[in-house]
Amino acid sequence: ARIRAAVAAHPAAVAGAGRFDTEIMTVLGARAFTKTGAEGVFCAALPEAGLGLAVKADDGGARAAQVAIASLLERFGGFEPDVRARLAPFVAPRLVNWNGLETGVLRPAGPLA
């Protein structure tokens, strides 16, 4: 609980400004604790729900693993609609080219959809 409170108060200390963990924990505060690992591993805790989540991307990439963990947080977090709306960019991030034009979107499929 002490670590969770510290992370919720200072999410940038976990991963740095603009990073997935920092952004997710900025949105969710003490309601979630996420940590990116190496080679496409992501873990998260939803303490209020008593859940721990883990995702491993077979190819070691982060983009799909981030979408998967954000989708799981959204699904199992029991968050209100406004919080779910703030998570939406992580669940289905836009892909843009070097000119800033949208070229696609990542989104969960199968059981996560």
Digits of tens for pLDDT over the chain (113 positions)?
898 899 999 999 999 998 999 999 999 999 999 999 999 999 999 999 999 999 999 999 899 999 999 999 999 999 999 999 999 999 999 999 999 999 999 999 998 88
The DSSP output letter for 89 is H
pTM of the model: 0.89
Burial of 86 (0-12, 13-18, 19+ CB in 10 A): middle
Domain that holds residue 57: 2-112
When divided into structural domains, the chain yields a total of 1
> Token pair for residue 101?
């034009």
Nearest to 53 by CA among 78, 71, 30, 29: 71
